[in-house]
Structure formats: C-alpha cells, structure tokens
A and B are shown apart, each in its own frame.
Chain A
C-alpha cells in the first residue's frame, strides 16, 4: 500500500508561533505536566541538546535563558484536526494519531494526480505557511515516515522499489520501540537496521516476542500496518472566559452547566445523550488542565452529568486559579434499555425514609404517617387501620 507521510516538525512550537509570531525569534521551551512533573514537549530548533519528554530541570540546566511556555494541547489538537480536515479533501484515508504526523493512503489517486509531485503540491497547499513540512512517499507507513524524515525541509522524498540498501546503515534507534527495547537491541550488538534485518528470526522472537518479528519486518522495509482513518464524529465544543479568575469549584461547575445546557437542549429532541466529553480549563498562568469524561451510559440530563464532573474535579484539582473553562462533547449516544434492579424500590424507599427522618428531626414531631392494617376484619371501624410513623 502506497502511503504519503506528512511530518510537521516542532508542531507545538509552530502552533505557538501562529498565535504569537513574536516568539519565533526567541528561544522557547514548551512544557507540559504529568502529575507534579514538568516535561519538555517541544523547543526551538536551535536548542539542539533538548529532547522531547526531558524533565524541565535538565532542560533549564542546558538553556537557562530559554523562555518557558505552557503547552496548550486543546489548541494544538484543534489546529492539527483542521489540517487533517484539509488533507481529507485530498485522500479519504487520513490517519493522524500523533500530533504533527499524518499518513495518507494514496492508492488509486494516480488517476487524479498522475505524478506524485502533483499530489505533494496539493498537500503542501493545505498546510498553513507557518509549518515547514517534510513529506515522504513509500510502500508502508514506516518507510514513508523514514522518507519524510530524510527529506529536506519543505521538500519531499519518494522511495520506489527495494529500499534495503538505504535502510541498512540507519541506526536501530529510529524504530518505534521503547527505550528499554532499544537498549536491549544494543546489548545484543544490533546497532543498525541492516544488522537487525539479517538477524535470525528465532532468537529475536524469543527475546522480543511478537514485537521482535515486527521490528525485523520494519528493518527490512516492510510495514503491513494499514492506515486507520479518522472516525467521523460530531463534536460540540464551547468555552467561556470567566469575568475574573476563580478557584471556586461551584463557580466552575456553574460555568460548565451553562456550557452544557445548550448541548442538552440540542440533543433532547433527538433523544440522545452525551457519551464522552472532555473538559478543560486554563489557569491564569496559561497552565492547562484537561480530563476526558466517559459515561457508562449516555447521560440525558444535567444533574447526572454535573455530579460526575464534580467528582472528577474534586479528585483532580485545578493547577491554579482558572480564567477559562471549556467543554468538548466528542461522542453522543442513545440511552440503553436496561432491566430494573430488584432492589431499586428498596433503595428508593430507604432514601425516602432517611429524608423523612431528617425532616422530622428538624421539626421535632412526627409529620408523615403510613396507613397500616391492624384488624381489617374487625366490625369496629376504628380498629381496622391505624396511622403509624413511617420509620416503624
């Protein structure tokens, strides 16, 4: 399968430049947080000693004058999705699982674009000018990615025929393998793709399992992985700037309610509910907080949705005072039919009893009674039934 790979190097940085062209001339490190750790997401190209996912302390030890920018992942993905939308107009098979890397299945497009250069030109036109794409075409995703990696900035490289001679000198570190796996390859004395390609299959699989077979196929230039096109989904998105920064959970919940209210109004006539949504906030120092919220069953009402959102917000506190709140409904669904629980009524009764008990404690006397049969057969009417307090 012929595949075109579009690499957009330093995608987060280019997104930041799109928003603020001034930072193009400065040394910038874009960071993101996982728990209490701050890691490098992207950096200016001149900061050559940095790597992605490097701890911020190590990055600052090398470049202490660099400007730190908090990553705005919702913005980056929004920009990337717009690019993928544009690419889908060129090919129906577009995969964009990783930020800044897109694969296009181009089998059958020869009738529209007789030469690969025509297609590449069309693809480049889709991309915003800020990005400096590298494009590669080959049989399979991994070879196409390698072709893109070895193409000049804003240029392209096309692999045709046998590429084993090109691959054999490349280091094993370019394989999609964990750092531990790469280290083990080096431990076995396998440093290049050429060495890996001729290594006996049996020992390799005994050490690496199914992954061993896959990396050997990749080293030989074979990649049978198909392109996974994006799933079509209706996305409802909204965000709002708060009048003043806040740390109050109630204020944030109220804001989310106001954002979700039109969503429920829109979905109610169709009998649909929210199945999956994402909620994000941006703090005053541009730090982002985002959580994906999945509901076991599509929620049809605000109360259920808010109670879940509240729990999540209590469990995952905000990084600081919030100035912007946004929601993104990514998956809708219809409510499922379900069998009622045998004990549902019992629980409902228990809740009612508890409410009545609280009410009576507050008022100081018995307010609610239930009618009970005492001697329903009695000839004396007042002996047949009695009113008893609900708790008895």
Chain B
C-alpha cells in the first residue's frame, strides 16, 4: 500500500489550455507587426535550460497579414479583455496568430 503523503492533490490543479505566450513584436508606425522575436524555448515546463546552449530569441520578419479581428469582452470586470488579433505569415513560411493586448499594450501569441 502506498503511504499517504498527506498532501492535497486536487487543489490548484486546474490548468488552462492554449494560454497566451508573451512574444516581442516590432511594430510599424501604424501599430501593425513587422517582425516577431520567438522565444528560444517554447516549453514553459523547462524552467532552467542548460547554460551552454541558451539561444537568443529568433527574429522573424512578418511577410504579410492574412487576417485581423478584435475581441472586446468581459468589460464588466476589473480586468476587461480587449485584444487585437493578427493572423500573420512569416518570412519562413510559417503562419502565426498574434494579438496585442489593448489593455497593457503587450504582444502575445496564441492559437485561435
């Protein structure tokens, strides 16, 4: 029989799926994304990467914007949601969904 550790297992164990990840985005004068600096390690569970192989964020130029939409929600809360989403095409050919949080002016990537 496994000994009971006495630890409560079920509290705080909900995890969000598809949580937004912070990214660095270079904007043009009109606020549209020009380039994205992708984090080197995207897996958030890796807390301390080995020192010797730390990579700098990779800069990727946005070659085009395919789509753009805005979400304004939960305006009745203290922290309302206001986002401007961009579905962009990178120079490498990859597609990416970014959004600019209009409340704190930060950029995030998130699958939609």
Query: Is the pair A386, B14 in contact by a Cβ cutoff of 8 Å?
Result: yes
Partner of A382, one of B2, B10, B17, B74: B17
Which chain A residue has the least Cβ–Cβ distance from B71? A379
Query: Is the pair A386, B16 in contact by a Cβ cutoff of 8 Å?
Result: yes
Which chain A residues border B15 with CB–CB below 8 Å?
Answer: 369, 386-387
What CA separation (Å) do A365 and B11 show in the bound complex? 10
**Secondary structure at chain A's binding surface: helix, strand, loop or mixed?**
mixed
What CA separation (Å) do A133 and B73 show in the bound complex? 102
B46 within 8 A of A: no
Which chain B residue has the least Cβ–Cβ distance from A387? B15
What CA separation (Å) do A381 and B14 show in the bound complex? 16
Query: Is the pair A385, B4 in contact by a Cβ cutoff of 8 Å?
Result: no
Query: Is the pair B18, A381 in contact by a Cβ cutoff of 8 Å?
Result: yes
A297 within 8 A of B: no
A307 within 8 A of B: no
B55 within 8 A of A: no
Known: A358-B2, A366-B9, A386-B14. A380 touches B19 (CB 8 A): no
Which chain A residues border B20 with CB–CB below 8 Å?
Answer: 381-382
What CA separation (Å) do A391 and B2 show in the bound complex? 17
| Chain B interface residue count, Cβ-Cβ cutoff 8 angstroms | 21
A364 within 8 A of B: yes
Query: Is the pair A382, B19 in contact by a Cβ cutoff of 8 Å?
Result: yes
Query: Is the pair A388, B14 in contact by a Cβ cutoff of 8 Å?
Result: yes
Query: Is the pair A362, B2 in contact by a Cβ cutoff of 8 Å?
Result: yes
What CA separation (Å) do A324 and B17 show in the bound complex? 61
What CA separation (Å) do A364 and B6 show in the bound complex? 9
Closest 6 CB pairs of A and B: A387-B15, A385-B17, A366-B13, A389-B13, A361-B2, A362-B2
29 contacts between A and B (CB under 8 A): A358-B2, A360-B9, A361-B2, A361-B9, A362-B2, A366-B9, A366-B10, A366-B13, A371-B17, A379-B73, A380-B71, A381-B110, A381-B112, A382-B16, A382-B17, A382-B19, A382-B20, A384-B17, A384-B18, A385-B17, A386-B14, A386-B16, A386-B17, A387-B16, A388-B13, A388-B14, A389-B9, A389-B10, A391-B10
Binding site for A on B (CB under 8 A): 2, 4-5, 7, 9-10, 13-20, 71, 73-74, 81, 110-112
